Amino acid sequence: MNNAYVVGQITVKNPELWAEYRDQVSATLSPWGGELVFRGQQAAALAGENPHASIVVIRFPSVAAVNGWFLSPAYQALIPLRQQAADVVLTSYEA
């Protein structure tokens, strides 16, 4: 089984709501074996353009775990808050 990763490219629209979302999303990861790898701020676009200033990378034990997490009622309930708080592009990758 290969690890899978969720990469979120983020532009925060409302810092207070974003903090609320971040505080709540962590609890949705553990049932699926998800763990935060890192959060960061873009230092520079070295090639091409990336309009999002922030990034998050989350590791899961499998693509099935990523899909289970994303479709879980716990995470789905947070999507309206996420949409109010930030513009987010989420992609998943298998390693």
pLDDT in tens, 23-44: 999 999 999 999 999 999 999 9
The whole model's pTM is what? 0.93
pLDDT digit string (tens) for 41-66? 999 989 999 999 999 999 999 999 99
Question: Where in the chain are the domains?
Answer: 4-42+50-94
d(CA 39, CA 55): 6
48: left (phi over 0), alpha (psi -120 to 50) or beta: left
Mean pLDDT of 72-76: 98
DSSP 64: H
Over 70: is that where the pLDDT of 18 sits?
Answer: yes
The CA-atom distances, in angstroms, between 79 and each of 82, 88, 90 are 5, 10, 12
CATH number of 4-42+50-94: 3.30.70.100
**Residue closest to 82 by CA, chosen among 34, 10, 27:** 10
pLDDT-derived band of residue 67, with 50, 70 and 90 as boundaries? very high
Give pLDDT, residue 1: 64
